[in-house]
Amino acid sequence: MKTKNKVPKFIPEIKKEKPSIWKISFITIAVIMGLLLPILSLDSGNSGDEDTWQYPQGERIYSFYTSFGQDTTYKSVPEMNPYGMWFDTLTVAVVKVFKIDNYATMRHILNALMGFLAILFAGLFAKNCKNWRAGVITMVLLFLSPRFLGHSFNNPKDIPFAAMFMISLYFIHKFILEYPKPSLKTSIKLAVAMGLAVSTRVGGVLLYAYFGLFLAAFYMFKNQYKDYFSKSNKPIINRLIFRYILVVFGAFIVTIPLWPYIMSAPIKNTIEAFKVMSHYVVSLRQNFEGILYWSDSLPATYTPQFILMTIPIAVIIGSIAYLFAGGLKKKNRFNTFMLYFAFIFPVFWIMYSKANVYGGWRHAMFIYPPLVITAGLGFDALIDLVKNKYGKIALTSLPFLMLITPLTHIVRNHPYEYVYFNEFTGGMKGAYGVYELDYYFHSLREASEWIQENATKDPNSTGDKIKVGAWLIPPISYFFRNDTARFDITFTRYYERGNSDWDYAIFVNTGIRPEQLQNGIWPPKNTVHTIDVDGKPICAILKRENRDDYFGNLAKYNADNIKENSPEKMAFIEEAIHRFEKAIEYDPVNETALLSLTEIYMSMQKLDTAMLYIDKLLSVNPSYESGLNYKGWISMQMFDVSQNPALLEDAAKAFGRIIQVNYKFIYGYYGLAMVYVRKNDVNNALQVLEDGMKIDPQFPPIVQLYNQLRTYNSGKP
């Protein structure tokens, strides 16, 4: 006679409820969110990776499939091989099949649906843990988390992964709820979800370990104070191991056809992809606590600190409340362990392994839904603690009232929801100039559209088209793709903007020196429009009102290409000086003009004048590596003339400051070593050079000086 499966005592029993107001609310809210998320995504800009990496690689992989493996151009970008690309390939297929011109909008709609799936399954997980009310609270908390919501619009890396990770956790939990005989349907769904997670980001293999860990923990919780490996328990253990192997194998089988790189050598290339992504070599500058760090040298607290600063306070309070309002009860302990582990372990691993993460906590987006579930369960548990009718109403309202601040941010700043900081940092006012803001370049769309609507041809500009300068070209080229008759897109860096020919320029404040943001030096004088979040500019559009810096740079270039001293060379130098001085008259903080004048006067051995200009530059941009480098070399040249030791100390401070603010700026090591050489301190010079060679082992000046000093040292008596 067959008996019904019994739910273990340490998992709360889920009673079959009649349709209730909370179930109806759950379904209604889910439908609204499922419709609203794609609609909201229509206004979003393109993220920094979409046009540069994701969509082009998706096209190459799409060609691989449609050519039945004959077109292997996806291999031409080897740095993309460690990325699973099924979602991007899917978006390409939809765009190609339906012949959609605005592919970004379609991608964003599909991306938003991935975000919705993460929200829906987080709500369903909470419902399976407790009830429909917990599910509703969880969904609302996650939807009104501005960072998660904003990334749902256009982050094709982290949101699809977060969705598949959450769905996998849901089915792992469901698998356990069906103990001792999980259904085949649940096992298949779990395998598919894990396979899709791995073929989005190879870090999804973590789910293989999670599944095993949670099964083992489940078994141990169930058999408390018993012999885990007794003869009577052996069939159960064998069944669990067999099901585990079957599901993981199935998940791997799902991954292989979705990832061409893995197809060629499934085991080997999966391991290789995991190694590459675990020690990611690309490093970006990040403003964290008012300091520009390289992402591979950020403080260990970067990820947890950024999470705590940028999620709703309601989530933090609800998650803590769950521990004290029921999460540690015997019947809830397994759910508590599973959810908190899913959140805490990746954070711990990021800190322990010193992982190369950047862009806030977007790489850890997948850990956020489990945390929100604990918050939903926490608020639900608080409601249960109160028996008074009005007390229940008050506590039921509490999480929704606490979400007013993030909701206000969402409404006021759409589509820049993800540029959000909670009360811990004082909101946008406290975060401005201290942390990265629009690090994913969402504002480039609005800036491009503003130029298309408002730009006019300057009679003094060169060429027939309006030139638009920017650092990140691919997304801007996308927005101007249907207006190439009027506009040309050209590359320029912000601090070198005076060297390029442009009529308008778009600069997001990512990469701008924190002190310039804090002191109001950015955006610059010729800004004609800004895109703001809570009154703070995250993107500036500049209009070229003065071209003297550009023409000065042309004259300087011509002079540099004439080797001998001649009247023609001097004429170009005089023209360059004249132009740069006029540029400074227009804008006294023009870095291009100040740096170029410094260089010109150094080459003319007019060191006092050169020092005057470099000091002006450093007064407005004190951490500018190129400026500090010139400061150091001018000081050393002046020391060589006067032998004033104070000048040598100035040089040492300048080069030391370079290494402090940017340890990858190799010229700082060479300059500081040369200071020690002038001090006859060979040992310290060698030490600095060795530090430099750790950054760039092939940098010729450092290698040559190092060899010379080693030879000198070995020849000493």
Residue 328 counted as domain residue = yes
Identify whether 683 is part of a domain.
yes
Give the pLDDT confidence score for residue 237 in this predicted structure: 76
Q: Is 2 contained in some domain?
A: no
Residues 527 and 620 in one domain: no
Asked if 442 and 44 touch (Cβ cutoff 8 Å), the reply is yes
Lowest mean per-residue pLDDT among 108-112, 463-467, 659-663, 710-714: 710-714
- Do residues 370 and 491 share a domain? no
How far apart CA 162 and CA 170 sit, in angstroms, is: 12
pLDDT of amino acid 232: 61
Residues 245 and 383 in one domain: yes
In the prediction, which pLDDT does 458 show?
A: 79
* Predicted pLDDT of residue 48: 87
Among candidate residues 216, 205, 225, the one with its CA nearest the CA of residue 176: 216
DSSP 8-state class, residue 522? -
Residue type at position 115: G
Tokens of 121: 């399954």
| Nearest to 56, CA basis, from 195, 150, 152, 156 | 156
User: Same domain, yes or no, for 536 and 568?
Assistant: no
Query: Phi, psi at residue 163, to the nearest 5°?
Result: -65, -50
The yes-or-no verdict on residue 226 having pLDDT over 90 is: no
In a domain, 16, yes or no: no
All residues at 6 or more sequence positions from 692 whose CB lies less than 8 Å from its CB, including other chains: 666, 669, 670, 673, 699, 702
Count Cβ atoms below 10 Å from residue 540 Cβ, excluding itself.
Answer: 23
Which amino acid is it at 257? Answer: P
The type of residue at 232 is S
**59-84 pLDDT, tens digit each:** 999 999 999 999 999 999 988 988 89
Q: Are 160 and 200 in contact (CB under 8 A)?
A: yes
> Are both 270 and 153 inside the same structural domain?
yes
Among 489, 513, 543, the domain boundary falls at 543
Copy the structure tokens of residue 661: 């603010």
Query: Using omega within 30 degrees of 0 as the cis cutoff, is the peptide bond preceding 415 cis?
Result: yes
Question: Global pTM?
Answer: 0.92
495 with 386, same domain: the answer is: no
153 and 178 fall within a common domain? yes
Residue-level pLDDT at 16: 54
Statement to judge: residues 692 and 582 lie in one domain: yes
Backbone phi and psi for residue 455, each to the nearest 5 degrees, phi listed first? -70, 140
Q: What pLDDT, in 10s, does the model give residues 125-135?
A: 999 999 999 99
Q: pLDDT category, 287, cuts 50, 70, 90?
A: very high
Task: Report yes or no on 412 lying in a domain.
Answer: no
Element at 487 (helix H, strand E):
strand 487-491
Residues sharing a CB contact under 8 Å with residue 679, sequence separation 6 or more, in sequence order? 648
Query: Is the Cα dihedral 43, 48, 54, 55 positive or negative?
Result: positive
Q: pLDDT category, 240, cuts 50, 70, 90?
A: confident
pLDDT of residue 2: 45
Residues 537, 593, single domain; the answer is: no
Report how far residue 48's alpha carbon sits from residue 101's, in angstroms, rounded to the nearest whole number: 20
CATH number of residue 678's parent domain: 1.25.40.10
- Listed residues 402, 433, 468: the one ending a domain: 402
Q: How is residue 47 written in tokens?
A: 């993220």
Whether residue 52 is contained in a domain is answered as yes
- Reading the block at residue 125, the tokens are 């997980």
| Residue 666 sits in the same domain as residue 554 | yes
Q: What are phi and psi of 131, to 5 degrees?
A: -165, 180
pLDDT above 80 for 11: no
The count of domains in the chain is 3
pLDDT surpasses 60 at 224: no
Residue 311 has pLDDT above 70, yes or no: yes
What does the pLDDT read at residue 230?
58
Three-class SS state of 388: coil
Residue 652 belongs to domain spanning: 548-714
Tokens representing 321 are 């409340």
Query: ∠ at Cα 611 (610, 614), nearest 5°?
Result: 90
Beta bridge partners of 529: 541
Residue 396: how many CB atoms within 10 A of its CB? 17
More confident residue, 352 or 458: 352
What's the chain's average pLDDT? 92
Residue 295 has pLDDT above 80, yes or no: yes
Band of residue 716 on the pLDDT scale cut at 50, 70, 90: low
For residue 488, pLDDT over 70 is answered with yes
Question: pLDDT tens digits, residue range 505-556?
Answer: 999 999 999 999 999 999 999 999 999 999 999 999 999 999 999 999 999 9
Ramachandran class of 69: left when φ > 0, alpha when ψ lies in -120 to 50, beta otherwise: left
pLDDT at 22: 94
Residues 605 and 667 in one domain: yes
Grade residue 234 by pLDDT with cuts at 50, 70 and 90: confident
Q: Is the dihedral of CA 395, 33, 339, 410 positive or negative?
A: negative
How many residues belong to the chain?
717
- Position 3 scores a pLDDT of 45
| Lookup: tokens for 480 | 């101007």
**Residue 409, domain member (yes or no):** no
In what side-by-side order are the strands of the sheet with 487-491? 487-491, 466-470, 504-508, 536-543, 527-533
pLDDT at 1: 42
Q: Is 351 helix (H, G, I), strand (E, B) or coil?
A: helix
Largest CA distance in the chain: 108
Instruction: Report pLDDT for 191.
Output: 97
Position 565 scores a pLDDT of 84
514 and 600 fall within a common domain? no
pLDDT in tens, 344-382: 999 999 999 888 899 999 999 999 999 999 999 999 999
Look at residues 543, 572, 587 and tell me which one is the last residue of a structural domain. 543
411 within a domain of the structure (yes/no): no
Q: How far apart are CA 418 and CA 47, in angstroms?
A: 12
Where helices occur in 521-624 by DSSP H, the ranges are 548-560, 567-586, 591-603, 607-620
Q: How confident is the model at residue 715 (pLDDT cuts 50, 70, 90)?
A: low
Residue 692: count of CB within 10 angstroms of its CB: 27
Is residue 17 over pLDDT 90?
Answer: no
Distance, in Å, from the CA atom of 201 to the CA atom of 102, rounded to the nearest integer, reads: 26
Q: Decide: helix, strand or coil at residue 399.
A: helix
pLDDT of 228 strictly over 80: no
